Amino acid sequence: MTRFRVFPFLMALVACLLWLNAGDSAAETRFLEAVKALGVKDYPTALSNFEAALTADPDNIRYGSEYRQCVIQCKQYDRCISFFEKLVADSPTAANAFLNYGFAYVDKIPAAGAITQVILADKSLSLFTKSIELRPSWIAYYTRGNSYLFWPKIFNRTHLGVADLEEAMKMQKADAKRAYHVRTYVSLGDAYWKMDDLQKAKAVWREGLGQFPDNPLLKVRLSQEGDDLKALINSGYDPNRRVDTNLQDLWIKR
């Protein structure tokens, strides 16, 4: 009797696992097809395959990131934003979908007019916030914190960036050292500089250089003073220049 009860249960479990695995592999297959199409600049095929992959696996941060790089190449920003809007509506707990949705707005900023840039930047912030609320992570805190630094002083948002980047720093210090953690040292130092605390900025950059001795971004910051340093930092937060939003550092081993 017990054997008869256990057997269907096991069968159901196996079927479930197979189904889940099939879902994953189907998503992966579409993703790989998308990457292949992107390689030959077949954008329509690439876009539809990326979207299929993400629909099957909405929380996949890599799929979302690669999709957006494709979108940047073919300038289909509005399509991308609409896609993510639907994706998060269908998958309201997918923290990484919200993160990539936020980045979709960031990706459009250099292609937009000066006032639309403000609107896009603000929308991206609210989506990064949603991602943090769903699942606090280093990448989400770093991303939102770094985004605040693009807002001119007059909007009084830099202190919010400092708070997020300090949180990201706390998280990375509790984690194993990873190559991309250097970004927090750069940005947090910039954030302190923007708060007119040069001493704290330099301390963070120095600490970062201790951890990542060859990093050119930290080296150049520590080698500049006054207006040169100002020009260097400001040029890094120019909304008219495209920000590298490719998240591949998260999965590529260096």
Partner 1 sequence: MKQKLARVLLIPLLALLFFMWAGSAGDGISTIRFQEIGKKAGVDHLHHTHVFKGKKGDVLSMFTSGGASAAVADYDNDGLDDLFVTDSDEGRTNRLYHNNGDGTFTDVTESAGVARGNDAHSIVSDALWFDYDNDGRVDLLVARFGTPLLYHNEGNGKFKDVTANSGLNKFGNTVAAIAFDYDNDGYLDLLFGNYFQAEDLTDLKTPNVLPNDLDNAINGGGVTLWHNNGKGRFEEVTKKAGLGHHTGWTLDVGHGDFNNDGYQDIYLACDYGTDRIFFNNGDGTFRDATEKAIGFDTKKGMNAEVADYDNDGWLDIYVTNITDEYMKECNMLWHNNGDGTFTDVSKETGTCDTLWGWGAKFGDFDNDGWQDLFAANGLRSAGKDNYIPVLVNMIIRPGINFSDINNWPNIGNMSWSGFQKKKLFHNLGTQSFKEIAAEAGVDNELDGRGVAIADFDNDGRLDIYQTNANQRALLYRNQTENAGNWLELKLVGSKSNRDAIGARVKVRAGSLSMIREVAGGNGYSSQSSTRLHFGLGHVGKIDSAEIRWPSGLVENVEVPINRITYIKEGKGVIKRPRP
Q: Which residues bind partner 1 (CB under 8 A)?
A: 112-116, 118-119, 122-123, 152-156, 238-240
Nearer to partner 1, 170 or 241 (CB): 241
Minimum distance from residue 126 beta carbon to partner 1 (Å): 9
Alpha-carbon Rg for the chain, nearest whole angstrom, is 21
> CB-wise, 58 or 239, nearer to partner 1?
239
- Rounded to a whole number of angstroms, the minimum distance from the CB of residue 58 to partner 1 is 23
Query: Which of 154/176 has CB closer to partner 1?
Result: 154
Q: Which amino acid is at 175?
A: D
Contact 189, 205 (CB under 8 A): yes
Q: How far is the CB of 109 from partner 1 (least distance, A)?
A: 12
Euclidean distance between CA atoms 27 and 67, whole angstroms: 13
User: Which one, 39 or 113, has the nearer CB to partner 1?
Assistant: 113
CB 193 within 8 A of CB 229: yes
Compute how many other C-beta atoms are within 10 angstroms of the C-beta atom of residue 165.
28
> What is the rounded CA–CA span in Å between residue 116 and residue 28?
35
Contact criterion met (CB below 8 Å) for 61 and 100:
yes
Closest approach, Cβ 69 to partner 1, in A, equals 24
Cα of 220 vs its chain's centroid, Å:
25
> CA-CA distance, 155 to 160, in Å (whole number)?
11
Minimum gap (Å) between residue 140 Cβ and partner 1? 21
Question: CB 114 → partner 1: shortest distance, Å?
Answer: 5
d(CA 239, CA 150): 7
With vertex at residue 217, the alpha carbon angle to CA 210 and CA 113, rounded to the nearest 5 degrees, is 145
Nearer to partner 1, 128 or 212 (CB): 128
Triad 248, 164, 214: Cα angle to 5°: 50
Q: CB-wise, 93 or 240, nearer to partner 1? A: 240
